[in-house]
Structure 1
Amino acid sequence: MHEGTAAKVNMAFIVAIVAVATIGGFMFGYDSGVINGTQKGLESAFDLGSLGIGVNVGAILVGSSIGAFGAGRMADIIGRRGVMMLSAILFLASALLAGAAGSSAVFIIARIIGGLGVGAASVISPVYISEVTPAAIRGRLSSVQQVMIISGLTGAFVANFVLARYAGGSTAELWMGFPAWRWMFWLQAIPAAIYFLALLIIPESPRYLVARGQDERAHAVLTRLFGEAEATRKVADIRASLAADHHRPKLSDLIDQTSGKVRPIVWTGIGLAVFQQLVGINVVFYYGATLWEAVGFSEDYALQTNILSGVLSIGACLATIAMVDRIGRKPLLLIGSAGMAVTLATVAYAFSTAVTGADGAVSLPGNNGVLALVAANLYVIFFNMSWGPIMWVMLGEMFPNQIRGSGLAVAGFAQWIANALVSVSFPSLVVWPGLAVAYVGYAFFALISFFFVRAMVNETKGRELEDMVG
């Protein structure tokens, strides 16, 4: 944005529509985190072993990968807001069906439906936010998405803890003869309904409207956002950025027509998406209670530890909001990679000292329990001040206009496939080769991600979306 237009920016309107868009992030977080406190209920209700738990927990990721891949392209057809509204409907249906599931098969279907919504919201909310915010503060406002994701996770952790405490355990009867774990799913119907209703009051992305030939509607939206003069300039800039390609966006645009190879910016996006998962963050978010119980924590204390991790995550994301448009995206990614490598290695060491007592109970000797807890939470802080929010910020802004939807589709698909591989494999890794070895693997990927960022990632701080190339 030009300096002369800054005074005309309608920040109240921008903040309002960003707040609505990021409810999708909250739902993404809640739907992902709610499973954390329900695993005992799933085991008892559906008679599941470790592989069965992995499949039931990982079912959401099947839907998420499909939702992320389809949403990028669908957003170019029915619009950013249209995809978010569809996500809200999927969240609501999933919440109701998962809580009522009478079999593992029905539960898996319900979680796949929810995953479609999670995957779609995960890629479209950042795109929408990047397309309606000024370049100078785009990173700050886009980072709110991660704050809302963590808020959703923390909200799920708190709800699970309160319901389990009130009922006397996650498998104990709560209301209307149903156990607490079923109410943990049903509760998310409330924010899903709020999300859908709130989406009715925000406008469509002006960049989508220009791409569909609706320049007048785009101009009206941009006028509300930035004022008349800036709206006219932006419509012209968007139109010019699309003019080089005289066709509507399609998946084949990701291939450079001159070289016949996939564009380098696409590989960078895929790398960012995959490394964000290979460092193992969702092991903490999906299996936090199970993880801490595996090293001797009680269910009640393990659920409280989840809440602590969530609160620290929100604090780290708020720090990122303050820094991202000042020091840039790339430095934060490098700091995060280095910090995660060290803290994950420390967690691996602590878990390697676990001992089994005569009664079969597992514990960490000496101060190693405290060491594991501190290192794990430092790891969560490093992730959420760097790769957590920055990956979504960059995917929302790094691609040129012509390939933004398709680039997000491919990167989002890769992100959720990596998420599924890490999450589904974790219960089996706990059995063999064990927690310590698993965490060594996550530390290794954190180290490799440092060198990937140095070699492949270009800074996007302060650049207009129309100036992105790749």
Structure 2
Amino acid sequence: MREFQLNAFKFAAIVAFGGFIFGLDAALISGTVRFITAEFALSDLQVGTVVSAPGFGVIFALMVTGRICDAWGRKIALLIIASLYLLSAVASVLAPNFEMLVVARFLGGLAFTSLSLASMYIGEIAPPEMRGKLVSVNQITTVVGLSAAYFANYLILMASNADAAWVTALGIDRFTWRWMLGVEVLPALVWLLMLLAIPESPRWLVLKGRLHDARGVLTRLLPEGQIEGQIREIQASAASAPVGSFRQQVAEVFKPRLRTAFWVGLVIAVAQPITGINAIMFYAPTVFEQVGIGTDAAFLQAVVVGVISVLFTALALLLIDRVGRRPLVLFGLAWGGASLFLCSWAFSHASYALSAASLQSLTAAGIDISGLQTLVGTVFADDVAFKQAMYQVLGEAVARANEGILIQEAINIDATLVLGGIMCFIASFNMSIGPVMWVLFSEIFPTRVRGIAIPFFALIVSTVSYFVQQFFPWQLNNMGATEIFLFYAVCITVCLALLFYLLPETKNKSIEEIEASLVRA
């Protein structure tokens, strides 16, 4: 690898490390749900508010990130984002109450635009022959961050249950959820410091008329003979960019000539989060507790989710230019929908009943079983009825704090079927619409509107994701596992049907060829 290629790889790796921070921030909260619910006596909607606060924050951030990038540069924007991640992590650890925890998480959400900004920066500094591979590094670091978060949560949970002096001295047993959220602090600080070493985007420098500075950066990123050609290409691209106010530029996306591209983008933007992926990724241990495997095993299963995410994302990156975008998306949605239908069917055949033996296990766990004696032998047909009975007998706070072991002792279900279905769903998402969505966004819109169209549809993705995260706890306790898995399976099926009709194949086609097939004269 030549020196300019090594430089491009180094800068791309530094910026893509933000994907790792994003993965940590997004997934660490999954391990804290049970702890913060008990400590702050949260309702279902309050739990959803804590978990979804970053998703709410990113909606606002997407509205201003582009303007900050254009006014102050990509590097400054990245430094602001890294600072927000660090501030959010520290504030989350120290949060004294529910309200401050929500504010701290909201600040982290303002930094969630790191994914789109990192892709923009890497695309602008990468040599053409390395651009696809370097941009894809961002997706890999994200799922590695998710996997690392689940693993860290599991290790901290195991430590909190250990009878060791160092655990007590560090307060891991008393402040378990704060230690989980604190995992993000050091990586966020490291990323902030590393970003100081990257150069400004040469594209931004050219657009600002700083040609001397742009040449200085490009000498580190391109062979000498390509520098002036690259500058002319940037200037030509800028000349064809849309003009007018922000509202006028957005209006370009809605014009009849872009109608086909618009509908493809809209369905993909809704389909990706409406699969329910964020419900599982952000609440992973909670989801697995519903199967009755217990809290410790639920945290371990979350680690498996992270590993599967990494493996199948890597598989998607290997296949996307060989198999094509359309087959991956359609196959992945079909597989994912079938997997969730399987989970729904398994929960529909589950039953819940406490026995005398299960009461002994609950006593050993420190739960007052005096009120449960009258429920021995009573069979509940679904998890909603069982949870309501537990709330009435034990009190909602106690029942919520011990939900994992209560379900474990009462449920009768084919757990292997559910776990297999969830793992297949995770695999299908990460080899299809998860990573492929961003590739399609970069291909289906003409160059002159892409800078507006991608943030616009990213905003739609973030908005739908926010509602999925916000209402999942309420859905789980009011609709039940059977209905919620069925709901997401039906959503996937509808999106599959629409994309089967709308989605074109863009593999091995130039941007101009794709534009010609999608844009009306």
State the shift of 1:95 in Å: 0.6
From 207, 215, 218, the counterpart of 1:211: 207
**Residues 1:117 and 2:111 are matched in the alignment:** yes
From 468, 474, 483, the counterpart of 1:437: 483
Moved more, 11-20 or 86-95: 11-20
**Residues 1:81 and 2:75 are matched in the alignment:** yes
Q: C-alpha separation between the residues in 2 aligned to 1:464 and 1:216? A: 32
Percent identity reads: 30
Q: C-alpha separation between the residues in 1 aligned to 2:277 and 2:31? A: 17
What is the match of residue 277 of structure 1?
273
What is the match of residue 11 of structure 2?
17
State the shift of 1:309 in Å: 0.7
Q: C-alpha separation between the residues in 2 aligned to 1:464 and 1:202? A: 30
What is the match of residue 193 of structure 2?
197
Moved more, 54-63 or 96-105: 54-63
The CA deviation string for residues 239-261 of structure 1, in whole angstroms up to 9 with x for no partner, is 22221347488452232399588
**Residues 1:362 and 2:429 are matched in the alignment:** no
Amino acid at match of 1:44: A
State the shift of 1:80 in Å: 2.4
What is the match of residue 358 of structure 2?
none
SS across alignment from 2:209:
coil
Q: C-alpha separation between the residues in 1 aligned to 2:243 and 2:23? A: 36
State the shift of 1:308 in Å: 0.3
What is the match of residue 142 of structure 2?
149
Moved more, 304-313 or 180-189: 180-189
CA contact (8 A) 1:9 1:227 kept: no
CA contact (8 A) 2:18 2:114 kept: yes
Identify if the C-alpha distance between structure 1 residues 55 and 258 changes in structure 2 by more than 3 Å, giving closer, same or farther: closer
**Residues 1:294 and 2:339 are matched in the alignment:** no
Amino acid at match of 2:471: S
Amino acid at match of 2:455: A
Identify if the C-alpha distance between structure 1 residues 152 and 245 changes in structure 2 by more than 3 Å, giving closer, same or farther: closer
State the shift of 1:288 in Å: 1.0
With structure 2 as the length reference, what TM-score do the two structures score?
Answer: 0.80
Give the length in aligned residue pairs.
460
CA contact (8 A) 2:125 2:201 kept: yes
Gaps of 5+ in 1: 1-6
State the shift of 1:136 in Å: 5.1
State the shift of 1:424 in Å: 1.2
Identify if the C-alpha distance between structure 1 residues 461 and 89 changes in structure 2 by more than 3 Å, giving closer, same or farther: farther
What is the match of residue 379 of structure 2?
none
From 429, 436, 441, the counterpart of 1:390: 436
State the shift of 1:463 in Å: 6.4
The CA deviation string for residues 408-450 of structure 1, in whole angstroms up to 9 with x for no partner, is 3322221111011111111111122211221122122222333
What is the match of residue 425 of structure 1?
471
SS across alignment from 1:327:
coil
Q: How does 1:152-301 map to 2 (within 5 A)?
A: 152-168=145-161, 175-176=170-171, 179-245=175-241, 247=243, 250-256=246-252, 259=255, 265-301=261-297
What is the match of residue 311 of structure 2?
315
The CA deviation string for residues 229-277 of structure 1, in whole angstroms up to 9 with x for no partner, is 3333232223222213474884522323995887654554343232110
Q: C-alpha separation between the residues in 2 aligned to 1:260 and 1:237? A: 29
Moved more, 219-228 or 197-206: 219-228
Q: C-alpha separation between the residues in 1 aligned to 2:512 and 2:88? A: 37
What is the match of residue 326 of structure 2?
330
From 59, 82, 103, the counterpart of 1:65: 59
Q: C-alpha separation between the residues in 2 aligned to 1:453 and 1:235? A: 39
SS across alignment from 2:321:
helix
What is the match of residue 348 of structure 1?
344
Amino acid at match of 2:311: G
The CA deviation string for residues 66-93 of structure 1, in whole angstroms up to 9 with x for no partner, is 1233223322222222222111000000
**Residues 1:303 and 2:296 are matched in the alignment:** no
What is the match of residue 372 of structure 1?
418
What is the match of residue 130 of structure 1?
123
CA contact (8 A) 1:167 1:174 kept: no
CA contact (8 A) 2:23 2:142 kept: yes
Rg larger in 1 or in 2?
A: 2
Moved more, 297-306 or 351-360: 351-360
Identify if the C-alpha distance between structure 1 residues 262 and 208 changes in structure 2 by more than 3 Å, giving closer, same or farther: farther
The CA deviation string for residues 91-129 of structure 1, in whole angstroms up to 9 with x for no partner, is 0001111111111111110000011112x2132122222
Identify if the C-alpha distance between structure 1 residues 220 and 398 changes in structure 2 by more than 3 Å, giving closer, same or farther: farther
State the shift of 1:314 in Å: 0.3
Gaps of 5+ in 2: 356-385, 387-405
Q: C-alpha separation between the residues in 1 aligned to 2:69 and 2:98? A: 32
With structure 1 as the length reference, what TM-score do the two structures score?
Answer: 0.89
